[in-house]
Structure 1
Amino acid sequence: MKYLNTAISHHRSMFCMLLLILLAGLYARSSTTIESSPDVTIPIIWVQVYLDGVSPEDSARLLVRPMEKELRNLEGVDELIANAYESNAVMIIRFNAEEDIDQALVNVREAIDRAKAELPRDAEEPVINEMSADAFAAIVVTLTGDQVGERQLFQAAQKLKRQFENLPGVLNANMVGHREEVVEAIVDPALLEIYQITSADMTNAVLNNNLLVPAGEVDNGKGRFSIKVPGLIENYQDVYQLPLKSTSNGHVLLGDIADIRRTFKDPKRYTSVNGKPAITIEVQKRLGAGSIEISAAVREQVNANLKYLPQGIEVGYVLDQSDYTKKMVNEMQGNILTAMALVMIVVVAALGIRSGILVGLGIPFSLLFAIIITYSIGYTFNFMVMFGMLLALGMLIDGAIVITEFADRKMAEGLSSRDAYMESVKRMFWPVIASTATTLAAFLPVMFWPGVSGEFMRYLPVTVFAVLFGSLFYALLFAPVIGAHFGKNNMSPSVRNYLQHLESDPPTSLAGITGNYARILAWLVQRPLQVILATLAILIAIFLLYGKYNAGVEFFTESETKYGSATVRAQGNLSAQEIRDLVREVEQRILEVKGVNTLYTASGSDSSDSSKAKDQIGSIWIELNDPATLARSTHEVYAEIRQHTADMPGIIVNAKGFEDGPPVGKPIQIQLQGLNRDKLLSTAQFIRQHLSTVAGLRDITDTTPLPGIEWEMQVNRSLAAQLGVNVLEVGRAVQLVTNGVKVGEYRPDDADEEVDIRVRYPLSNRGINVLDQLRINTNDGVIPISDFVQRVAKPKVDTIKRINGIEVVTVKADVDLGVLADDKVKEIQQWLAQQTIDPEVSVVFRGANEEQDKSKAFLSVAFSLALFLMFILLVTQFNSFYQGLLILSAVVMSTAGVLLGLLVTQATFSVILTGIGIVALAGIVVNNNIILIDTYNHLRKAQALSPIDAVIAAGAQRLRPVFLTTATTIMGMLPIALNTSVDLISRTVITGGEISSTWIPLATAIVYGLLFSTLLTLIVTPVMLVLPSYLVKKYHKLKPAVLINT
């Protein structure tokens, strides 16, 4: 090992390099953005187009189809979702995971530009945005004030919004709970009739007098001057002076026939905080920005503006993600430090203080080395990165343990520390390389996990890779250099005697645990067939018992969560005020539940959000007290909220905590797709009716139209043409009774957005009955609109949804606490198989079930690929197919150990976390076999021992390092597996915390699998090593007998 000889000779340079890496790691840690969850780039782009007053059917025909035609031809599109609503249409373009989102955004913009030519002339400019996994606000700022006017509150919120959007890292700041400004011209119908003024006259008056006309330039020889004709409306008072009509008696101005005022649009949505009406500002962060920094900057900005706000305005904060992020970081860092302490205790107890410290130095080195890597590739310091470090913590010192333990044995034989570590690295270089490579091979396929789940989980294997590379660097370079310089042969006489006897005496003559193990092993290797058959019987029994008595499967574990939401549903033709009152009643009920800290409520229906139920009238975001301080689980709190609101007539409330892991929506989602709408709707109702009878399901919704009617104004076109009236004039006349006719817009100096100018009738002249009495100018004079327009009631269609050009309806359901969605999906699938579903309607399970099936398929492939890669490495290392397969047998044992642990504890199998745990175990458990078989081969070659003597000696010599590597890995995972977070910094112990509960399935899988496989490995692997020689002997004994008998 020339490199090591050079490194030891230049140990001062190596110490400087070690210090440099540690300092660089500390700098990277302090500079890395801290975040609660990974920043996942979702390859989804949405496009929204508004066309005021358009029906969903016309929206699908006029808005959706032109965009659909252009978007479906884009490369890399996985799914094209179209939602046609009243007054707007939304296109959701889901790209393949490998597509570059920036290029996809450019392609979508170009496609929409091409589609614009076919969109209606009155359609607004399409809005194109990228969808983010972290779409919820980093912090919500609330403004309340009972004694403050609405305009003052609005202007104060608007000022803060502008300042927030200028902060570094802020993507946008959305105001919620305010009403948009509008200039209303309330016209007298009688005056319109007297002056024979139409809505077209008013529209033209605004359009023709709200212009900035550049009239060119004049050069008079003495200078060059630009000329303009100013005509823009600058304030609402200018609207008074707009001329509508000229007569012999003078001019008719808009102010002559209308009462003009700058006001707010009719209320549609209300927001409140703990029951108090509020305007809120939801601050969203950019990708890569930290919620802690955003929260601090927002609070600082608010504090700087407090003295300038009108008296009576109170500013508060809700749903501040920085609080959770700080708690998560402290809890995870505490777990890492606790695991380090436990690992160090085990190592020092087994190797002594000097060797233990030498091995333990590899922990901070490897972790800081990994932080340098993750920082350099742009990762945030989130809980996936930290758990990757925690997962690797028990494994990262395996190489250092093997190197140091072998060097201790050589120093016990009398070698100097330099020679001992040189010999140790020379002897164990390739076994350490092989063991680390096989571990990395297990994690390598996981790095290529496709889809959103893969984007979310990829941080874990990348972090493990970085940590283990750092540990390999330390074990083969820095540990030998430090050991050669500071290591001394000053071990206690008992340890020296133990190591000397281990090298020179027969293992069966040793005392203590090693001697007992050697004697048991000597007895077992004489009976290899019995041992192997017993092992197979145990493994088969475990797999069969688990298949029959398992506790079920879940996609991602449900953990304790401080944040959640409640949806409020009610049917009926409710006004905005009625909706507000109903939601406020629910809000008061929830506030009565013990453990609820803060409620942030938004009431009002939003038909343009396809993720919401059609009858959803309100959303309540819930912040509970710290789960550690609650006397019960957060799941029980949400269950009580549902129970406490269950008796409210006509209202359905569903409260639940926010999801951990990849976003998938409701656990049960049944998508129906077909060309015949009637068959589609009837099938959806049939399935929904059945789901309502299935025990364990709740909050069942679908996307079929809600029962209700809409009024259709059917124009007799022939008669209208005779009267000189067109459909546009009829529509504008109707708008005077409804939302008003938009005749233009202007931009005030004190507003960020353009303000609409609308003309409408007084409140007393608005209503359904007024439509029949509405009068309109025609060639025959002013006549009632009912003479040629018939008002007809028709079933209301509020949304039309299509996927890849075909209409779809989705039925969704949630599950009760303790009920597994996977079990219910199988139950529903069995029921569907017995039903006669119309062949024109296809049924597909989406959501969590779809992601679960994809994850299962990927993890199965990843597991197989990992085993194949590991087998290639092992065959390369040992040049033996038999020994390669023998080493991989530990993977079967570890998987059986995982299933046994789940069976005993009756825990569910988490597809994501338990699946990753099994894949990770494949790389961990083979390390013991690698070192054991390498030692066996070395003893056979160097000392010419028989297979039985060699395997007993190898087992005895490797018992201590096998125990150490197993114990350190288990100790690293034990606090999480026990659902306990021990924070050594704050000196607190939290049982059932938000963070530890998330990772229980992964941690328990590693603990169960590693413990079980290690126990079997220490027995089965030595027995399997002597099996070939045992069979050869048996064959030679049987051969003479066969010859004699013949």
Structure 2
Amino acid sequence: MKLIETAVKRPVGVIMIVLAIIALGVISLRNLAIDLFPEIDLPIAVVATSYPDASPQEVEKLVTEPMEGSLSTIQGVNTIQSQSQSGSSLVIIMFENGTNLDNALLEVRESVDGVKTFLPEGANDPSVLRFNPNQMPIMWVGLTGTDDKARLQSIAEDTIQPYFERQSGVASVSIEGGQERIIELELDRAKMNQYGITPQLIQQSLAGANQSASAGSVQKGDQNLQVRIAGDYTSVEDIEQSIIFSPQGAQLTVADVATLNDITQDSGNSLVNGNTALVFSVMKQSDGNTVEVSDNILSSIETLNKDLPEDIQLEVVVDTSDYIKESINSVMDNMIYGGLFALLILLLFLRSVRATIVIGVSIPIAIVSTFILLYFTGETLNILTMGGLALGIGMMVDSSIVILENIVSYRQKGASLIEAAKKGASELAPAVIASTTTTLVVFLPIVFVDGIASELFTPLALTIAFSLLASLVVAVTLVPMLSSKLLTKEKEKPYWFNRVLKKVTNGYGKILRKALHFRKTTITLTIVLIIGSIGLTPFIGTAFIPEGDQGQLTITVETPTGTTSEKNHQYAMDVNEHLEKYNDIIDVNYVTVSSGNSQDAVMTGGAAASYQIELVPASERDLTTDQVVSQLDEEFSSIAGAEITVQSLSSGAMSLGDPIQIQISGPESEVLEQLSDEVINAIATVDGIHNPTSSLSDTQPEMNIKVNRELAAQYGLTYQEIMQQVQMTFTGQTIMQYRESGDEINVKLVYPEEERSTINDLENVLIQNQQGTQIPLLTVADFEQVQSAATITRQNQQRQVNVSAQIIDRPLGNVATDVENVLADMSFPEDYEFSFGGQTEEMETAFFDLSLALILSIFLVYAVMAVQFENFLHPFIIMFSLPTTVIGVIVGLFVTGQPLSITAFIGIIMLAGIVVNNAIILVDYINILRRRGMVRLEAIVEAGKSRLRPILMTTLTTILAMVPLGLGIGEGAEMQQPMAITVIFGLGVSSLFTLLLIPVVYTLFDGLSERIKRLFTRKKEKEA
């Protein structure tokens, strides 16, 4: 080949190209974004609408249903889900895979604009957002040192928050656990009645007075002066002294009818390791590098801590980049160890340090070249792309080994360095290209897999493909060039490994002859082993994505609605006491305790307290995160009166929620609630189910006011007037914002708390008509106390209840099967049904898609071999090496206790392209020997013995390079471990069968082919 000849003749040029590639690779590596997983871009849009102070039922009827009806007409919509909560509506639109989300978002906005005018008065304009599962805070930083929250708040807002937000890659920084300043105008109902003042009149007067305006310009000499009327309030005294005119024309001030209270309101009580704290949550930009942003914040913390008061300090609460760094470093370590193992195998077989150096140099160059391709294709550096490199290291050297061994063979025959390099590389270059192609084509179908499996594993497939392409180019250029300069003619010396290898080769020759003699026995034994291994399948189980021990868990403390802040705080302290037993493995304990107001509810998800626990690294503790979860569950069972849920945050689940998600749909909420309770009780008996909950488990007591509209009309009142006055009395109303020192402070009208705290206060609230007449609410309304759902969930415009659960100590597929069997025995009423969602649904979809991809991969491998051999029969013979991989894969997973996960399935697809290479080498050499005149039996035995050495070399380098990943050592290794295990065991077992079964199959098909030829020959002779 001209390329090889050019590379050997021009070593300086090759070296300069290599140096340029290394330089470009280093630059690419520095600029590659580093993250835990590839960026997941799912076609999902979200429409969020707030309807303050409305109940979930009102939100559902007046906001969610109209929105769903409009959005359902958009083309390409797959599923519409919605959540209606007190004061807010969330509609999630999931489009078909492959939908252009940018175009879809335009249609969503058009639909939202069309329905906006039909939303109730008081509902805010809907927001249309692109769903991005990666947009979560990457860091939480605590500010501690004093119990004076006002002081912490001042430092946080004036100094720290702006400084953090100026750092490169930071999108936003929010403060949790701080305080909010509010100016309340507490209305005096008696004085308001005395002067005929209404809240609406106060609102209009204040809003009209607190504003500035431009009034054109005037001329002064040669200048034009802009005229501006300044009316903004400059102090709280301005608000108190603001003038109000009564309907009778009397002039009053706000102070005459209201008391001004300048107060601060907690927006959550945050504690970090038991100390009062404010916590900053840092969001990175969508294209930001998680590790780089984290490093920038860490550097900022060091700088700020030097300037902060001595008693105040910043400390990292949670840094997600720690796990990313540890995972990437772990994969890199495994990659280095794997590369060293591969080189040791080469040194053992080749007994040449120089030859080993030639291969050793090719590995880093192939890796660096892969970094360049990753950068220009927009991929990130994550545990999957790095895992792809680690998995590919063993395969990277295969092409170089075959080329180098042939060059060494020519050299030992007496050829010169240049001649050996040219002939040795050129002779086997076509075969190397063909074998690499068979490995590459198996990854093509993965590109066509839909859903999250494609989003995750397409980068892995691309990485392996890039590394193999780079290694192929290195094998046909750099290896011949280096061989022509570095190799020497080794003198024959006694070598212990050669003696061992000779004995193995002779033993293999004897076993092969027996296998060829007892062909039926060999094939029968193979079939029995395949069937026997398949029988182990039920003991393996299936899973979605392996769970990584990320060392993070959350604790949610839920108490009955209306529980006092003191009681909530006591529950949090009880939890803290139990957590003290685990101080040796808890690195950070960050808790937000609700004091019962609406701001806290947002912070804690409606819970009394919400904990985020960071454990020390897995290497520094004896318990896994799941084991800690189980023990804490038992610990907290002794705390009565609160529902305490402990959950682990794992890297495998990502944004798909709990592993088990059962969606029960039907028309009536009461029936759905009853069915959800029955389902929870039923699945709680399934082994592995942990913390089953229902979306209807969270309920809230409500006092329903049913207005008699006809009676109200007789008093000159409308339903809207009654609703507005009741809302004003019990929730108050924010009427404007007052600016002071650059901060905007809400000004709110409220009635005294003693007038709005009891049911009696509600029944006797005075409703005023336009004529000034006041009547108690009880006169025109009835009252009913009910217990209603805190959240109303719908899917495809039908009410739905979600029952979810975590799993512990069992594979997802096994648990899902048992749950499905349990549900199948239940009797669901007509119009009510259940389905699985979340990880279970994604797992089933991914397995189906990957099965199709595997079938297509096998066909592509056959097609490539058919082109290579210019023959249909020999590739068919080679394909018999594939079924034997089943034995290795199933036994490997069974022995190591790993379930069949998506990552293991990717390993199986990889095997389809790898295992045929050994058979290709064997069958190709059998044909060569037969063409030289050797009889079939001797050709097969001789080919087997002579090809045993390169087959063992390529197989062992591939397997041993993956052993560190297969052992699952280090953070984040759980993701690649099943993939490595399937390749290690599958390739190992298949190689053994290839050496025995393929020759037997070859004789059978060759004999059949000969008989068919003889029949055709006789037929032609008779016709002649």
* TM-score clears 0.5: yes
Q: Distance in 1 between matches of 2:933 and 2:6?
A: 34
Stretch moving more, 334-343 or 610-619 = 610-619
The answer to whether the Cα contact below 8 Å between 2:552 and 2:625 also exists between their aligned partners in 1 is no
Residue 1023 in structure 1 maps to residue 1000 in structure 2: yes
Superposed, 1:453-852 pairs within 5 Å as 453-493=453-493, 511-543=502-534, 545-547=535-537, 550-593=539-582, 594-604=584-594, 616-663=607-654, 664-704=656-696, 706-751=698-743, 754-768=744-758, 769-778=760-769, 779=771, 781-815=773-807, 817-852=808-843
Residue 891 in structure 1 maps to residue 882 in structure 2: yes
CA displacement, residues 901-955 of structure 1 (integer Å, 9 cap, x when unaligned): 23344x24232121111111111111111112222222222x2222222222221
Superposed, 1:100-119 pairs within 5 Å as 100-119=100-119
Q: Distance in 1 between matches of 2:706 and 2:434?
A: 80
Report the CA distance shift for 1:728/1:264 in structure 2 as closer, same or farther (over 3 A): farther
Q: Distance in 1 between matches of 2:599 and 2:476?
A: 60
CA displacement, residues 727-782 of structure 1 (integer Å, 9 cap, x when unaligned): 4443343334433122223443432xx43221112233330232233234443644
Q: Distance in 2 between matches of 1:233 and 1:45?
A: 41
Work out which of the residue numbers 901, 921, 925 in structure 2 matches 1:935. Answer: 925
Q: Distance in 2 between matches of 1:259 and 1:31?
A: 59
Residue 853 in structure 1 maps to residue 844 in structure 2: yes
Report the CA distance shift for 1:511/1:149 in structure 2 as closer, same or farther (over 3 A): closer
The answer to whether the Cα contact below 8 Å between 1:199 and 1:741 also exists between their aligned partners in 2 is no
The answer to whether the Cα contact below 8 Å between 1:614 and 1:706 also exists between their aligned partners in 2 is no
The answer to whether the Cα contact below 8 Å between 2:348 and 2:497 also exists between their aligned partners in 1 is no
Stretch moving more, 305-314 or 111-120 = 305-314
The answer to whether the Cα contact below 8 Å between 2:4 and 2:422 also exists between their aligned partners in 1 is yes
* 1:975 Cα deviation from its structure 2 partner: 1.7
Cα root mean square deviation, aligned: 3.1
SS of corresponding position for 2:260: strand
Q: Distance in 2 between matches of 1:725 and 1:528?
A: 98
CA displacement, residues 525-547 of structure 1 (integer Å, 9 cap, x when unaligned): 2333332222222222222x324
Q: Distance in 1 between matches of 2:248 and 2:1009?
A: 125
The answer to whether the Cα contact below 8 Å between 1:47 and 1:91 also exists between their aligned partners in 2 is yes
The answer to whether the Cα contact below 8 Å between 2:53 and 2:87 also exists between their aligned partners in 1 is yes
Report the CA distance shift for 1:497/1:73 in structure 2 as closer, same or farther (over 3 A): closer
Q: Distance in 1 between matches of 2:293 and 2:497?
A: 61
* 1:864 Cα deviation from its structure 2 partner: 0.3
* 1:212 Cα deviation from its structure 2 partner: 3.2
Stretch moving more, 618-627 or 138-147 = 138-147
The aligned residue for residue 990 of structure 1 is: none
The answer to whether the Cα contact below 8 Å between 2:323 and 2:550 also exists between their aligned partners in 1 is no
The answer to whether the Cα contact below 8 Å between 2:554 and 2:646 also exists between their aligned partners in 1 is yes
The aligned residue for residue 289 of structure 2 is: 290
Report the CA distance shift for 1:92/1:341 in structure 2 as closer, same or farther (over 3 A): same
Stretch moving more, 300-309 or 852-861 = 300-309
Report the CA distance shift for 1:707/1:91 in structure 2 as closer, same or farther (over 3 A): closer
Q: Distance in 2 between matches of 1:205 and 1:978?
A: 74
* 1:633 Cα deviation from its structure 2 partner: 3.0
The answer to whether the Cα contact below 8 Å between 2:911 and 2:987 also exists between their aligned partners in 1 is yes
Q: Distance in 2 between matches of 1:388 and 1:51?
A: 48
Matched to 1:619, the amino acid is S
The aligned residue for residue 963 of structure 1 is: 952
The answer to whether the Cα contact below 8 Å between 1:676 and 1:840 also exists between their aligned partners in 2 is no
The aligned residue for residue 20 of structure 2 is: 20
* 1:624 Cα deviation from its structure 2 partner: 0.8
Give the 4+ runs in structure 1 shifted more than 6 A: 219-222, 495-499, 605-615, 1032-1039
The aligned residue for residue 328 of structure 1 is: 327
The aligned residue for residue 70 of structure 1 is: 70
* 1:453 Cα deviation from its structure 2 partner: 2.8
The answer to whether the Cα contact below 8 Å between 2:164 and 2:173 also exists between their aligned partners in 1 is yes
* 1:249 Cα deviation from its structure 2 partner: 8.9
Superposed, 1:202-221 pairs within 5 Å as 202-217=202-217
* 1:571 Cα deviation from its structure 2 partner: 3.4
The aligned residue for residue 169 of structure 1 is: 169
Stretch moving more, 845-854 or 145-154 = 145-154
* 1:336 Cα deviation from its structure 2 partner: 1.1
CA displacement, residues 78-109 of structure 1 (integer Å, 9 cap, x when unaligned): 22222111111112222334234444444433
Q: Distance in 2 between matches of 1:976 and 1:119?
A: 56
Report the CA distance shift for 1:799/1:202 in structure 2 as closer, same or farther (over 3 A): same
Matched to 2:522, the amino acid is V
Residue 353 in structure 1 maps to residue 330 in structure 2: no
Q: Distance in 2 between matches of 1:437 and 1:676?
A: 58
Matched to 1:270, the amino acid is N
* 1:218 Cα deviation from its structure 2 partner: 5.2
Report the CA distance shift for 1:1029/1:212 in structure 2 as closer, same or farther (over 3 A): same
Q: Distance in 1 between matches of 2:804 and 2:580?
A: 28
Report the CA distance shift for 1:798/1:719 in structure 2 as closer, same or farther (over 3 A): same
* 1:1031 Cα deviation from its structure 2 partner: 5.5
The aligned residue for residue 93 of structure 1 is: 93
SS of corresponding position for 2:52: coil
Superposed, 1:238-253 pairs within 5 Å as 238-246=238-246, 250-253=250-253
Q: Distance in 1 between matches of 2:795 and 2:1012?
A: 68
The answer to whether the Cα contact below 8 Å between 2:661 and 2:836 also exists between their aligned partners in 1 is yes
The answer to whether the Cα contact below 8 Å between 1:144 and 1:278 also exists between their aligned partners in 2 is yes
Stretch moving more, 314-323 or 471-480 = 314-323
TM-score by length of 1: 0.91
Matched to 1:137, the amino acid is P
Q: Distance in 2 between matches of 1:606 and 1:360?
A: 65
Report the CA distance shift for 1:718/1:523 in structure 2 as closer, same or farther (over 3 A): closer
Stretch moving more, 755-764 or 805-814 = 755-764
TM-score by length of 2: 0.93
The answer to whether the Cα contact below 8 Å between 2:729 and 2:751 also exists between their aligned partners in 1 is yes
The answer to whether the Cα contact below 8 Å between 2:149 and 2:179 also exists between their aligned partners in 1 is no
Report the CA distance shift for 1:813/1:510 in structure 2 as closer, same or farther (over 3 A): closer
Report the CA distance shift for 1:395/1:636 in structure 2 as closer, same or farther (over 3 A): same
Q: Distance in 1 between matches of 2:716 and 2:526?
A: 95
Q: Distance in 1 between matches of 2:600 and 2:943?
A: 66
* 1:272 Cα deviation from its structure 2 partner: 1.8
Matched to 2:974, the amino acid is S
Stretch moving more, 890-899 or 610-619 = 610-619
% identity of equivalent residues: 27
Q: Distance in 1 between matches of 2:488 and 2:591?
A: 68
Stretch moving more, 512-521 or 351-360 = 512-521
Residue 919 in structure 1 maps to residue 909 in structure 2: yes
Q: Distance in 2 between matches of 1:310 and 1:870?
A: 68
Q: Distance in 2 between matches of 1:799 and 1:497?
A: 71
The aligned residue for residue 1043 of structure 1 is: none
The aligned residue for residue 413 of structure 2 is: 413
Report the CA distance shift for 1:381/1:706 in structure 2 as closer, same or farther (over 3 A): closer
Matched to 2:859, the amino acid is F
| Structure 2, gaps ≥5 residues long | 1017-1024
Q: Distance in 2 between matches of 1:307 and 1:1004?
A: 50
Stretch moving more, 2-11 or 454-463 = 2-11
* 1:222 Cα deviation from its structure 2 partner: 6.2
Stretch moving more, 391-400 or 55-64 = 55-64
Stretch moving more, 741-750 or 336-345 = 741-750
